[in-house]
């Protein structure tokens, strides 16, 4: 009798779900999800790489303001002659002794372009005082003006958004499009470049909004 019961119990146990099936399905679903996320992120990273290599040169307002990544002297000359650029605002700050900076200064001198330096960090919130100073440069610079940072995505995006909002008079929502994935701005995951978005919206929400006066 005992042997029969034991056999019956063993057969019943084999018919019961072990719990491994649902776990396997969950692991498989998570794996697929992770691969999909990495695929999207990888594709976007490749896209960013391409636009940065190509200079990320874009018009904010044609004939008035342009934005770009760091350009080599030859690229700066090409765009300056093609678009009539008369001034450059470098958002990486003065860096004498660095090849990219010395090359830019020399090219600007040879082309008769007015050059401005104003250092910002893409990972730190820009203060209202800094924003007022930057907008004063943008207003007073000979046009067309080219603004640039390293990649043309974050700091350049912030200044372009500020220009659209504070100088052109566009809505905040319209101006905020200058800080978007289309330009390589990616303030997600572990990125700290969301500081640019916070800077823009803090300025928009400021009670006095001095730079629009």
Partners of 146 in beta bridges: 66, 88
β-pairing, 58-61 with 65-68?
A: antiparallel
Q: Judge whether residue 210 has pLDDT over 90.
A: no
Two structure tokens written together for 43: 């594709």
Type and span of the H or E element at 22: helix 20-53
- For the stretch 26-52, pLDDT in tens is 665 566 654 544 444 444 444 444 454
Q: What are phi and psi of 166, to 5 degrees?
A: -85, -30
Kindly report the pTM of this predicted structure: 0.75
Q: How far apart are CA 42 and CA 144, in angstroms?
A: 35
Domain ranges of the chain: 16-53, 56-212
Task: Say if residues 159 and 122 touch (Cβ distance below 8 Å).
Answer: no
Q: How far apart are CA 108 and CA 114, in angstroms?
A: 7
pLDDT for residue 39: 46
Q: Judge whether residue 16 has pLDDT over 70.
A: no
- The model's confidence at residue 22, banded by pLDDT at 50, 70 and 90, is low
The architecture (CATH level 2) of 56-212 comes to Alpha-Beta Complex (3.90)
Can you list the pairs that 198-201 forms with residues at least 24 positions away whose Cβ atoms lie under 8 Å? 198/125, 199/125, 199/126, 199/131, 199/158, 200/158, 200/161, 200/162, 200/165, 200/172, 200/175, 200/176, 201/172, 201/176
Q: Judge whether residue 102 has pLDDT over 90.
A: yes
């Amino acid at each position: 009798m005992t042997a029969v019961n034991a056999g019956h119990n063993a057969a019943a146990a084999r018919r019961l779900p072990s719990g491994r099936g649902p776990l396997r399905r969950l692991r498989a679903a998570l794996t697929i999800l992770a691969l999909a996320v990495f695929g999207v992120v990888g594709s976007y990273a490749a896209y960013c790489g391409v636009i940065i290599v190509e200079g990320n040169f874009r018009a904010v307002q044609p004939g008035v303001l342009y934005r770009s990544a760091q350009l080599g002297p030859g690229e700066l000359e090409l765009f300056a002659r093609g678009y009539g650029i008369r001034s450059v605002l470098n958002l990486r700050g003065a860096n004498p002794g660095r090849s990219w900076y010395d090359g830019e200064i020399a090219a600007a001198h040879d082309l008769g372009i007015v050059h401005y330096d104003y250092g910002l960090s893409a990972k730190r919130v820009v203060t209202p005082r800094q924003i007022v100073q930057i907008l004063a440069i943008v207003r007073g610079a000979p046009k067309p003006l080219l603004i640039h940072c390293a990649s043309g995505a974050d700091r350049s995006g912030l200044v372009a958004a500020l220009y659209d909002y504070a100088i052109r008079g566009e809505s905040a929502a319209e101006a905020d499009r200058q800080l978007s994935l289309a330009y390589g701005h990616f303030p997600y995951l572990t990125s700290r470049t969301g500081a640019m978005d916070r800077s823009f919206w803090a300025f928009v929400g400021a009670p006095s909004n001095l730079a629009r006066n």
